[in-house]
Amino acid sequence: MAKKMGIVALLLFGVYLLCMYWYIFHSGGGTVPKVFQGTVADPVMFMSEKELFLSGEYSKIRNFLFFIATPLEWLVYAFILLTGISRYFEKVATAQTKWKLLRNAGYLFLLSLLLYLVLFPLDYYRYYLSKSYGISTQAFSSWMRDGIIDFWVNFGTSLIVVSVIYWLIKKSEKRWWLYTWLLTIPFTIFVMFIQPVVIDPLYNDFYPLKNKELEAKILSIADQAHIPAEHVYEVNMAEKTNALNAYVTGIGSNSRIVLWDTTLNRLTDNEILFIMAHEMGHYVEKHIYFGIAGYLVLTLGGLWLTSRCMRWVIRRYGQVLKIKKMGDIASYPLFLLITSILLFASNPLTNYVSRYQETRADQYAISLTGDRESAVTAFQKLTISGLSEVNPQLLVKWFRYTHPPMLDRIDRVAEKEGQKKEAPVKEEQKKEQQKQ
């Protein structure tokens, strides 16, 4: 039975892979509609031929990798269960100590190490791809260091979460999902509070913005927006990437507005002020807190569905999957499999909400700065730096895009009194027109 289920899973994954390959590379989506051609939103008007070509190639490969990576993880979880590896790891950990926490730690370390090694080739290829297309500037040793930090941060977090969850399952197999959710509320808030000062500095160096003149301008518009900001932080990302970014992180007294140094190096002051006004829009409209609330609601539903699904799967296929009961930590890969499927399925909804919030933040930034030209050029430079696809295919937009596609963003911020702004003619085109 286990062999048959494994073969069926492989066949389904193979069919899915072929379908996604056709959709991403051969369905013909992602073109710029006629209504946008020749406007400032048209990438032909602000990207070189080489950048356009690289953007098309890079986006397709990344989109394809996204759609196969998560189902590949599902396949790995299923393999770990069907082959009895999870049960074996539990036995090894149990034989080493009588302390429950140490048993959990031993099991999770073995499982985490196996997942890290199995998925390493895909992670490395993503790094190699980003490096070869000029997005990443990170040395291999630095990339490995970040990967090892990720491993231990995730391991430590998982040990706490998994130990609590399986203790609750043993106490109440029917209501563990509710008790887990109740504990999720303070845990989520605590992690968001400490992230800017504890977790983020493990990866990069953060410091107050060095350009005090620019900081004064940013704090001035923050004052206009009634935001009690004292510092703007910059982070040294140039040694890792050519991409541009700025973001808001943390809550309460640890909330921060952060600028990548690549953004500071490549955008003008007015473009940076628009980006900062956008981030302030998130603060003013309390998107972080709405995000926490939405996350907690989805977590409640997700935990309830996970509980129901795990009980049904174990009751029907427990023997095949080598799972005796839900409270055994050997069932953890099944927990990961179900929650991963639910998270993937929820992407269209969560991304839709996120895109709406990003649109609202763009509108707020325009109302605060009134500088549409800087907004347009900032988005154009963001597109070039990340070789972004301005008009992705529908499934790509639904499942991947937490921000509106650049075609929509540029078009919206360029609009004035209902008119779409025409793009300036490129220098080469001007010469050609003069010849004619």
Token pair 């991304």 in the structure block, residue: 351
SS3 318: coil
pLDDT at position 229: 67
85-129 pLDDT, tens per residue? 999 999 999 888 888 899 999 999 999 999 999 999 999 999 999
Q: Is residue 7 part of a domain?
A: yes
The two three-digit tokens of residue 70, written as one number: 């998560």
Selected catalytic residue, list 271, 279, 358, 389: 279
Concerning whether 279 is annotated as a catalytic residue, the answer is yes
Q: Domain count for the chain, please give it.
A: 1
3-state secondary structure at position 422: strand
Q: Which residues pair with 207 in a beta bridge?
A: 234
* Cβ contact 118:76 at 8 Å: yes
Task: Give the model's pLDDT for residue 88.
Answer: 94
Helix (H) or strand (E) holding 407: helix 406-414
Q: Does residue 319 belong to any structural domain of this protein?
A: yes
> What pLDDT is stored for residue 122 in this prediction?
95
Single-letter amino acid, residue 312: W
Do 352 and 294 meet the contact criterion of CB atoms below 8 Å apart?
Answer: no
Residue 303 belongs to a domain: yes
**What's residue 7's pLDDT?**
87
> What is the full DSSP assignment across 200-250?
GGGTS-EEE-S-HHHHHHHHHHHHHTT------EEE--TTTBS---EEEE-
**Nearby residues of 249 by Cβ (< 8 Å), 6 or more positions away:** 195, 196, 200, 255, 256, 258
Is 433 a domain residue? no
Low-confidence ranges of the chain (pLDDT < 50): 417-419, 425-436
User: Is residue 102 one of the residues assigned to a domain?
Assistant: yes
- Give the predicted TM-score (pTM) of the model: 0.87
Environment class of 289 (CB within 10 Å of its CB; exposed 0-12, middle 13-18, buried 19+): exposed
Residue 167 lies in a domain: yes
Domain extent at residue 110 = 2-204+286-414
Residue 409: helix, strand or coil by DSSP?
A: helix
Contact 25, 64 (CB under 8 A): yes
